[in-house]
């Protein structure tokens, strides 16, 4: 598939397609890779309600595209994302609680869409990833960070809580580490993010794109249906003891073994050739 760069195109009412021009989101597809680039470098790629809506629709669309295997999130300029936009924060402060609930629900839908996407989601983090920006990295399957990157869950300094992002942060680093980072709002290094499990790779800034490329190339060798099944399996096993998990795991592998993709993968292995789904 050739490179396609376009303004944001959104889904409305499930099927109908509307074109929504958004100046701060660039969407591109190259081969099996979808890239969503936050493009507001003068404001450190801060998030507001319109950008959140645009991202949500783009994630849903990429997730439903059979040609896409991975979704890469990146930020243009010196920062991945510094969290919420100041003007946006001023607006929500004047809203009612009901209006704030509706607004927060939209953000929650974005992170859930990223987390539940059947595609492999990857955050390319450089500069700062703060607040919602750090939450975006946590919601992704993989976070590839530059050594100079700084993370932080800074909401309590504003009298707020990292509420919407909490499930994804806890899923990555556990309750104990999240408790300390949420309550102190401290900023921490990429190396610490790696030790906690928030980042999966930490490399020099000059090698960041190469590291991302290596991970995406790995994704392209995997069966896309198997990847989606693994993601669903991991979600299904959360909190379940082995005696409850066994039925889920047996059903998963049995289904994959008899699938066309599974049969092709086994045949290719036995015949010592690449499977037809490998990019």
Q: What is the mean pLDDT of residues 112-127?
A: 98
**Is 155 among the catalytic positions?**
yes
Token representation of residue 64: 């439903």
Q: Among residues of the chain, what percentage have pLDDT more than 70?
A: 92
pLDDT at 125 over 50: yes
**CB contact at 8 A, 56 and 110:** yes
Place of tokens 């869409």: 113
Task: Tell the burial category of 241 from Cβ atoms under 10 Å away from its Cβ (0-12, 13-18, 19+).
Answer: exposed
Q: 182-234, pLDDT tens digit by residue?
A: 999 999 999 999 999 999 999 999 999 999 999 999 999 999 999 999 999 99
pLDDT at 7 over 80: no
- Range 4-220: architecture per CATH: Alpha-Beta Complex (3.90)
Provide the β-strand partners of residue 36: 27, 73
Q: What is the mean pLDDT of the chain?
A: 92
**CB contact at 8 A, 46 and 82:** yes
Task: Tell the burial category of 102 from Cβ atoms under 10 Å away from its Cβ (0-12, 13-18, 19+).
Answer: exposed
CA angle, 152 as apex, 148 and 155 as ends, to 5°? 155
How far apart are the C-alpha atoms of 73 and 125, rounded to whole Å? 8
Q: 49-89, pLDDT tens digit by residue?
A: 999 999 999 999 999 999 999 999 999 999 999 999 999 99
Which member of 27, 147, 155, 271 is catalytic? 155
The domain segmentation of the chain, as residue ranges, is 4-220, 224-270
């Amino acid at each position: 598939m050739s490179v396609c760069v376009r303004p944001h195109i959104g889904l409305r009412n499930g099927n109908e397609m509307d074109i929504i021009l958004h100046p701060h989101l660039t969407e591109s597809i190259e081969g099996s890779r979808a890239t969503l680039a936050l493009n507001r470098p003068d404001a450190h790629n801060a998030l507001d309600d319109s950008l959140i809506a645009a991202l949500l629709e783009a994630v849903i669309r990429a997730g439903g595209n059979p040609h896409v295997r991975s979704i890469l999130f990146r930020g243009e300029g010196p920062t991945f994302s510094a969290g919420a936009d100041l003007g946006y924060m001023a607006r929500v402060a004047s809203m009612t609680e009901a209006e704030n609930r509706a607004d927060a629900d939209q953000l929650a839908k974005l992170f859930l869409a990223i987390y539940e996407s059947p595609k492999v989601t990857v955050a390319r983090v450089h500069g700062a990833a703060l607040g919602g920006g750090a939450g975006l990295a946590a919601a992704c399957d993989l976070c590839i960070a530059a050594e100079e990157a700084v993370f932080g869950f800074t909401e309590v300094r504003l009298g707020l809580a990292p509420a919407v992002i909490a499930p994804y942060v806890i899923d990555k680093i556990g309750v104990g580490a999240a408790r300390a980072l949420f309550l102190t709002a401290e900023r921490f290094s990429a190396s610490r993010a790696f030790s906690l499990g928030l980042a999966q790779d930490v490399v020099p800034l000059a090698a960041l794109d190469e590291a991302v490329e290596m991970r995406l190339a790995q994704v392209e060798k995997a069966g896309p249906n198997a990847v989606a099944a693994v993601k669903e399996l991991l979600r299904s096993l959360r909190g379940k003891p082995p005696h409850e998990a066994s039925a889920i795991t047996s059903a998963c592998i049995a289904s994959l073994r008899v699938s066309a993709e599974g049969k092709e993968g086994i045949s290719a292995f036995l015949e010592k050739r690449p499977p037809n789904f490998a990019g």
